[in-house]
Amino acid sequence: MKLVKAKQVYAIVCALFLLCNIATADEINQAGWRTHVIELAKANFIHPAWGFSHSVRDYNLVKSLAEQDEVKLDDDVLFASAYLHDMAMFPGWEKHGVDHADQAAAIVDTVLNGSGFPDEKIEMVRLAIRTHMYNRDPAGPESVYLHDADALDWLGAIGIIRAFSMIEPNGGQHDSHNMVALLENYMKNVPNHVISPAGKMLAVERNAEAMNYLKQLNSETANLNSL
């Protein structure tokens, strides 16, 4: 009897050991593909408006909005799509005549394949990337929240910084007046395309921030005549 119980205990210990090893392997595998994506994005996606830092903000904002709305997201899909959605804005991945969202969606597998990313989730990543722009219609929770986060990054204080970072310092296009017009266009149109409840509330807050800034800018530049 004691021998039987000892064997049972040994079997349970072995099973637990195997489960622990499997979990550890999964964690290592996941860390591997995420590290791969982060390193690629840091090294190649360099731009003050839509580079690596923009992706970091999108990822964090998606999680914040979804938490407020009590919506559960697939974090693998969220992470991959947030960090790779603008990849086709950069040399090596861009394609002339093709919208960057469509191009990135088409080629995102070239980054994820062989990295340890779950193959069955790649199509969900494609969908989220394809519809991340504010004027597109997302389907599925990851797509909706990436779409909203990306749109909201054009509003408020961060939207102002992003817009003015695109000014051509040597007097070409874009100039300051172009960017003010761009901000006003985003303030007018972006909130109407935000879908999530938390996103809608944040759009109102960020528009108020930008409105106060533009009001002050007008007062200091004679209604932009000396801008």
Task: Compute the distance between CA of residue 117 and CA of residue 32 in angstroms, rounded to an integer.
Answer: 9
pLDDT at 17 over 70: no
Task: Compute the distance between CA of residue 127 and CA of residue 58 in angstroms, rounded to an integer.
Answer: 16
Which has more confidence, 13 or 107?
Answer: 107
Which pLDDT value is given to residue 15? 43
pLDDT at 22 over 50: no
Which pLDDT value is given to residue 13? 41
Percent of the chain clearing pLDDT 90 (strictly above): 83
Task: Compute the distance between CA of residue 182 and CA of residue 202 in angstroms, rounded to an integer.
Answer: 19
Q: Cis check for the bond before 174: say yes or no (omega within 30 of 0).
A: yes
pLDDT tier at 5 (50, 70, 90 boundaries)?
low
Which pLDDT value is given to residue 170? 84
Q: What is the mean pLDDT of residues 153-161?
A: 97
Give per-residue pLDDT as tens, 160-179: 999 999 999 888 788 999 99
Q: What is the mean pLDDT of residues 80-92?
A: 98
Which pLDDT value is given to residue 172? 79
At 38, give phi and psi (nearest 5°).
-60, -45
pTM for the full predicted model: 0.85
pLDDT at 192 over 70: yes
